[in-house]
Amino acid sequence: MRALAEFLMRGPKQAVIVAVVAAALPLMFWLSAAVLTLVTLRKGVGQGINVLVWALLPAIAWWIKLGDPGIVLVLVFSWVMAVALRQTVSWEKTLIAGVVIAFITGLLLPVLLPEVIQQLIDMAKEVYRQIDPEMVKQLSGELEPAFTSLMVGSLATTYLAIALGAVVLARGWQSSLYNPGGFGKEFHSFKLSPVFALCFVGLALFGPSISLNVVLLVLVMLVPLTLAGIALVHGGVAKRNLGGHWLFVFYICTIFMPSLFLLIILMAILDSCFDFRRRIKTTPVDQ
């Protein structure tokens, strides 16, 4: 990956070529988003826009062909977060920018892509029909608006999560090239502010009473909380010098026990207020 990052930084042509090819290839658009982010972080907003414009050409072609704007949205999300990170050097502000644009996108998706949303809803109903026919009747009745919000929120959250992954990857590339070890320290110390965590809890509890699309908003806000929880785990492991095998076990557990993400989110909320890493005693490397 370092060799690829070095190649991208040789000039704008190299970055544009890789971004366009990756956006054109199936399931490789995340790489295009990472290239776009790296150029924006290192070379500036202007060169980032140049890469974005070129990468959008195959992305729009995929949208026209498949009716799915996912690649376009991931590229735009990544660029917005890259600009925010470059300008503010704050992961929290970067994530807030991502949440805002994902929430706006979620509100627009039923208007822009009604057929796609309806197809997803029909597919989900078919799955539930095989499991519990009575549930399908409920989903087609009074629960349908909530179910639609859930599907739209899941789409917007997925796009945001992929874009955030591209930003994290690009930040790692930038660190390996120009500031070795910097990203590790940055990530290990990352935590959300108490204000963000309390806003999440407040919106989850009282959002419906103020006519917000609370399902969509809560889902997209889960992305920053998940990242903060993962950063807490990485930071704790690094501070105790436990070794990479503990992280391997952690990720294996999350794969086979998805409910573990609920604990990760809860710990991220608590960490924003109590700063657990500050309370962890550092273990010397030679021990």
Q: How many CB atoms lie within 10 A of CB 89?
A: 10
pLDDT surpassing 70 at residue 138? no
Average pLDDT over residues 100-115: 88
CA dist 60 and 57 (Å) reads 5
Q: Which of 31-35, 69-73, 257-261 has the lowest mean pLDDT?
A: 257-261
Q: Which of 15-24, 73-82, 129-138 has the lowest mean pLDDT?
A: 129-138
CA dist 92 and 140 (Å) reads 39
Closest by CA to 10, choosing from 55, 42, 34, is: 42
pLDDT of residue 287: 45
Average pLDDT over residues 42-57: 96
CA dist 36 and 18 (Å) reads 10
Q: b/e for 125-134, b at 16 or more Cβ within 10 A?
A: beebeeeeee
Average pLDDT over residues 178-187: 92
Average pLDDT over residues 47-70: 93
Q: Which of 70-74, 212-216, 250-254 has the lowest mean pLDDT?
A: 212-216
Residue 196's Cα: distance from chain center in Å?
A: 16
pLDDT of residue 42: 95
Closest by CA to 250, choosing from 168, 238, 34, is: 238
pLDDT of residue 280: 80
CA dist 143 and 129 (Å) reads 15
Domain range annotation of the chain: 1-101+156-188
Percentage of residues in the chain having pLDDT higher than 90: 59
CA dist 63 and 211 (Å) reads 32
pLDDT surpassing 70 at residue 60? yes
* Dihedral-angle region of residue 280 (phi above 0 means left; psi in -120 to 50 means alpha; beta otherwise): beta
- Contact between 219 and 153 under an 8 Å Cβ cutoff? The reply is yes
Average pLDDT over residues 236-256: 89
- What the block records as the tokens of 118 is 């309806």
Q: Band the pLDDT of 240: cuts 50, 70, 90.
A: confident
Q: How confident is the prediction for the chain on average, in pLDDT?
A: 88
Closest by CA to 50, choosing from 15, 18, 22, 88, is: 15
pLDDT surpassing 90 at residue 279? no
Supply φ then ψ for residue 67, to 5 degrees.
Answer: 75, 15
Q: Using alpha carbons, list the distances in angstroms from residue 138 to 126, 132, 150, 180.
A: 13, 10, 15, 55
